[in-house]
Amino acid sequence: MNAQFKKGVLELIVLESVRQRDMYGYELVEEVSKVVDVNEGTIYPLLKRLTNERYFETYLRESTEGPPRKYYHLTVAGILYRDQLEAEWMEFADRVGAFLKERKER
Amino acid sequence: MNAQFKKGVLELIVLESVRQRDMYGYELVEEVSKVVDVNEGTIYPLLKRLTNERYFETYLRESTEGPPRKYYHLTVAGILYRDQLEAEWMEFADRVGAFLKERKER
DNA sequence: CCAACTACTTGGTATTGTCAAGTACTAAAA
DNA sequence: TTTTAGTACTTGACAATACCAAGTAGTTGG
């Protein structure tokens, strides 16, 4: 999979995933992987960055299957940012799609 | 416009633009700008890279409106690469679009 | 007790786009 | 004639983000 296409989009996929319910890192790696190929070394730093930017709040919860899990919860700022990012993505993808389609029709 | 979204996609837009007819750099900046915001400092290095990778061949032609223009012509390898890149983009954009749509329907 | 799975961290690297500045040529306006 | 605007390309320093590899550590089952 083209690594460059993912730039910025992984952020949106992560934000959108957490929107519906709080999730922990490892779980997110698997969730995001259903949509696009991704590995831990990408997701964890991304979560840290989004937390530093106050789009996520975190809390620890013990697990019966391994070490405690760090859960990510979307803040109000996070919700707004997600909405904005989604709108930007839609517009971008539409523009590129329209360009390619228009070219094809000739 | 989100700068990250463009990664990899500008390459496709440039290749697709030149597919139909040979174009020179300055012209490409304007052509690509119709689809997504972009500036010279992005396009010229990209053209150089794609030329180094043998996806473009170039030739100079004089202009009545300024200095000579360097025209870019798509090679056979360039055509194949463009096709591949387009297929990858379509697949990627579809996957992301489907993910967002599916989430929205809940 | 060791392998497998879960869970997270970190450091180095690669790719690609941005910004800013510079060079240089032509044509038209002042 | 000098200046300005438009055309055309180049370069170097920088920023953002994804990848890879390796490491730490807890839990469970053979």
Percent of chain B with pLDDT over 90: 85
Q: Could you say which DSSP state residue A38 is in? A: -
Domains of chain A by range and CATH? 4-104 (1.10.10.10)
Q: Is the pLDDT of residue B104 over 90?
A: no
Beta carbons within 8 Å of A24's beta carbon, 6+ residues apart: A61, A69, A70, A71, A72
pLDDT of residue B22: 95
A42 touches strand D (CB under 7 A): yes
Residues of A in contact with B79 (CB under 8 A): none
Residue nearest the C1' of C9 (CA based): A44
> Hey, what long-range contacts does A39-42 have (CB within 8 A, 24 or more apart)?
A42/A10
Structure tokens at A12: 């949106």
How do residues B30-42 score in pLDDT, each as one tens digit?
999 999 999 899 9
pLDDT given at position B68:
87
**Which nucleotide lies closest to A41 by the C1' atom and the CA atom?**
D19
A49 secondary structure, DSSP code: H
Whole-number Å distance between alpha carbons of A106 and B20: 10
The string of pLDDT tens digits covering residues A65-78 is 888 899 999 999 99
Provide the pLDDT for residue B79.
96
> What is the value of pTM for the model shown?
0.92
